[in-house]
């Protein structure tokens, strides 16, 4: 049976179609989910894609966190459903308290778009198992509110528990504390990161790299072997 991975579309989502394409390239079936629909339609995993949901009014991801679909996503994520938040999706996951910390505006106060070098710190989550710990990859980055912040206690806890999933290398593009580019929850089923792996899945489109494809093959293998 083909694994079904849902991609939620919020008002202002930009990368939902790209994410669906990445899922299809990995060999799974993408399922479009609508923000007003609480029903996840029996998907095996969920991706919250990038964009500017609700125009990032109030705070990035703050309104989407209360969308009807998120009520079910939060409930199911706590029960073990794999969830990936990309850029705006990462912001939504912090607003929903499925991931620790929060996101603020870039320290230089400008939108940034670049091919970003990352180091994989945790290769044992549902979304990173096809990487190796310490592996360096290049993933496109584009954000305005990408500065990851948390109090020192939370940061120390993330470090001690191996919950920093990705770290910026060479350049910290937005002032994120401790160069954190992505984190995971304790169970490893919920992962969020600011860079966009869906834009690095085939050599002729996007960045010209395929460094992002293992996100989607990782979850596929986990679902198939579950």
DSSP 206: T
Query: Would residue 41 show up in a list of annotated catalytic residues for this protein?
Result: no
Catalytic option among 35, 121, 138, 198: 198
Task: Given the residues 95, 121, 138, 196, select the one marked as catalytic.
Answer: 196
Burial of 98: CB neighbours in 10 Å, binned 0-12, 13-18, 19+: buried
Q: Is 172 exposed, middle or buried (0-12, 13-18, 19+ CB in 10 A)?
A: middle
From 87, 95, 121, 138, the catalytic residue: 87
Based on the residue annotation, tell me whether 198 is a catalytic residue of this protein: yes
State the CB neighbour count (10 A cutoff) for residue 99: 27
Residue 87 known to be catalytic:
yes
31: three-class secondary structure by DSSP: strand
Catalytic center residues? 87, 196, 198
């Amino acid at each position: 049976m083909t694994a079904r991975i849902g991609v939620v579309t919020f008002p202002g989502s930009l990368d939902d179609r790209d994410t669906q394409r990445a899922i299809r390239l990995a060999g799974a079936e993408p399922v479009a989910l609508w923000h007003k629909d609480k029903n996840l339609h029996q998907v095996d995993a969920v991706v919250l894609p990038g964009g500017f949901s609700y125009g990032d009014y109030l705070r990035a991801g703050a309104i989407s966190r209360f969308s009807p679909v998120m009520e079910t996503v939060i409930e199911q994520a706590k029960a073990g459903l794999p969830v990936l938040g990309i850029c705006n999706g990462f912001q939504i996951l912090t607003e929903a308290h499925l991931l620790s910390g929060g996101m603020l505006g870039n320290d230089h106060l400008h939108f940034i778009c670049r091919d970003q070098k990352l180091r994989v710190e945790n290769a044992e989550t549902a979304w990173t198992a096809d990487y190796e710990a310490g592996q360096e990859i290049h993933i496109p980055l584009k954000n305005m509110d990408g500065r990851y912040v948390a109090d020192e206690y939370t940061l120390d806890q993330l470090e001690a528990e191996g919950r920093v999933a990705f770290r910026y290398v060479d350049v910290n593009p937005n002032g994120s504390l401790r160069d954190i580019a992505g984190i995971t929850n304790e169970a490893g089923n919920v992962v969020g990161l600011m860079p966009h792996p869906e834009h690095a899945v085939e050599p002729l489109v996007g960045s010209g790299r395929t460094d992002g494809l293992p996100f989607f093959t990782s979850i596929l293998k986990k679902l198939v072997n579950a």
